Amino acid sequence: MGLFNTNAPLLSDLNLLFQIAIFIFLVVGFLVVKLRRGSMKHGALMGFALVLNTVSICVVMMPSLLSFRGLFSMPFTRPAWLVIVHAITGSLVEILGVWLVGTWTFRRHEIKACAKKRNIMRATILLWLVELFLGIYVYVILYLPI
Ligand code: HEM
């Protein structure tokens, strides 16, 4: 039995809340740099959000993807397509995030080099937001009686 009186297991409800909380960290990290409160704080917050996201992918979403029978027994249904698109977009966000945070970690004091990637950072946050909405849609399709 989950938290919201839906058909979702508790782990999926917790993951939903967790993903929303992670996105709030991202928004705070974005605001920190916009309000010029320091690129170190910005990098650390983004890194923290990425670590939490990686944990949720490895602990909840990847195992769920691998055990999602619909992918193989009904590969052309709406839920299957949605979960595949969600998994591909999420993997792309993860790769971009690891690259951005990884290069920042090794060149933390080269602020200009980091700032040059601002368009990629904006694109990553936007893609992350799209991914969050896709995830919420996955939840609705899988667990709400519609
Ligand atoms: C930025 C990255 C991601 C975000 C923001 C995100 C967000 C979400 C959200 C909000 C849900 C609904 C909660 C739930 O049902 O557990 C969800 C479910 C799911 N996600 Fe993601 N996700 C991301 C990356 C990924 C990746 C990389 C994969 C594939 C490896 C993936 C596979 C899944 C699957 C299979 C579910 C259904 C889980 C279940 O059985 O309930 N997600 N995601």
Interval 25-54 mean pLDDT: 90
CB 47 within 8 A of CB 54: no
Any atom of ligand 1 within 6 Å of the Cβ of 121 = no
Give the whole-number percent of the chain exceeding pLDDT 70: 97
How far CA 37 is from CA of 79, 111, 113, 134, in Å, comes to 42, 14, 18, 31
- Ligand 1: which atom is nearest the Cα of residue 9? 41
Residue whose CA is closest, atom 40 of ligand 1?
A: 64
Q: What is the pLDDT of residue 136?
A: 97
The DSSP string of the chain is: --SSSSS--HHHHHHHHHHHHHHHHHHHHHHHHHTTS-HHHHHHHHHHHHHHHHHHIIIIIHHHHHT-THHHHSTTSHHHHHHHHHHHHHHHHHHHHHHHHHHHHHTTT-HHHHHTTHHHHHHHHHHHHHHHHHHHHHHHHHHS--
pLDDT over 70 (residue 70):
no
Q: Which of 42-46, 107-111, 124-128 has the lowest mean pLDDT?
A: 107-111
pLDDT tens digit string along 88-114? 999 999 999 999 999 988 887 777 778
Q: Provide CB contacts within 8 A for 95, sequence distance 6+.
A: none
pLDDT of residue 73: 67
Q: Residues 10-28: pLDDT tens digits?
A: 999 999 999 999 999 999 9
93 lines ligand 1 (CB under 6 A): yes
Mean pLDDT of the chain: 90
Confidence of residue 35 (pLDDT cuts 50, 70, 90): confident
